């Protein structure tokens, strides 16, 4: 469930809002005059969101390139190529 607070709570109850975002790892939505204004996240949650966004963008880019090239690869071929690049690893 979303936590929605007036923006004035950021000034008046900063410690409480900080505690909420760190304990729940969820954002707190702040409103100004009854309208959405800001979102407060913990630094960890922000980094996770940013990482997920980067992964999504790279997957979209890979999908675009795959549409340009009709060659397909088996999972064994991909794994073998990864082992060449990264080194041997256990799955």
Ranges of each domain in the chain: 3-41, 45-86
pTM above 0.75, yes or no: no
Strand partners, 29: 4, 39
* Residue owning tokens 């304990």: 23
One digit per residue, the tens of pLDDT, for the chain of length 91 reads 899 999 999 999 999 999 999 999 999 999 999 999 999 999 999 999 999 999 999 999 988 888 888 788 889 998 888 888 887 666 5
Other CB atoms within 10 Å distance of the CB of residue 40: 20
The three-state secondary structure class of 6 is: strand
* pLDDT on residue 15: 96
């Amino acid at each position: 469930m979303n936590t929605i607070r007036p923006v004035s709570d950021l000034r008046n109850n900063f410690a409480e809002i900080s505690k909420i975002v760190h304990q729940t790892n969820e954002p707190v939505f702040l409103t100004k005059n009854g309208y959405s204004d800001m979102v407060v996240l913990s630094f960890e949650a922000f980094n996770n969101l940013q990482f997920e966004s980067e992964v999504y963008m790279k997957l979209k880019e890979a999908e675009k390139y795959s549409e340009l090239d009709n060659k397909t690869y088996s999972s064994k071929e991909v794994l073998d190529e990864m082992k060449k690049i990264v080194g041997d690893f256990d799955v």
